Amino acid sequence: MDKVHVIYGSTTGMTEAVAEKIAKALDAQAFNINAGDAAAFDAELLVLGSSTWGVGDLQDDWAAQIDAVKANFAGKKVATFGLGDSVGFADSFCVAAETLATAAKDAGATLVGEVLKLDDTNEADQTDSKIAAWVETLKAAL
């Protein structure tokens, strides 16, 4: 079994770009949840990423898949990250990342790391340093 997989849902590509950065930093493969690839869940640590849409909703592909795939979180380590807009949606900023963490915990996963919340719309200059620091906490949990 692989050590780490990154699994993301992304509507306009922003979460996808971050997922690729996180995967590179962890020497891991990244999977788009919309591909329906069962192999995505075959790793010790699953790093799950979702942007937030509507008002506090999961990204569409995650919303469509979560009930079908959540059993795969049982017994795994799970970390979650999200992208959102902290200015336009201050009250629902990155809620989807919390939703994924709750779904994983409820399904029997062990959560590792803090929930990483990124705002590439208003604070893009902070993204890379936040990713780098967060990835180190995940490595410590492996």
Q: Which is nearer to ligand FMN, 13 or 67 (CB)?
A: 13
**Candidates 24-32, 36-44, 84-92, 98-106; binding stretch for ligand FMN (CB under 6 A):** 84-92
What's the min distance (Å) between Cβ of 124 and ligand FMN? Answer: 10
Could you tell me which residues are beta bridge partners of residue 58? Answer: 52
Q: Which of 25, 29, 34, 56 binds ligand FMN (CB under 6 A)?
A: 56
R_g over Cα of the chain? 14
| Residue 34 found at the interface with ligand FMN (CB under 6 A) | no
Q: Which of 31, 73, 93, 134 binds ligand FMN (CB under 6 A)?
A: 93
Report whether 117 contacts 97 (CB < 8 A): yes
Report whether 87 contacts 131 (CB < 8 A): no
Please give the angle made by the CA atoms of 110, 115 and 116, to the nearest 5 degrees: 135
Report whether 37 contacts 70 (CB < 8 A): no
Interacting residue ranges for ligand FMN, rule: CB under 6 A:
10-16, 51-56, 59, 83-85, 89, 92-94, 120-121
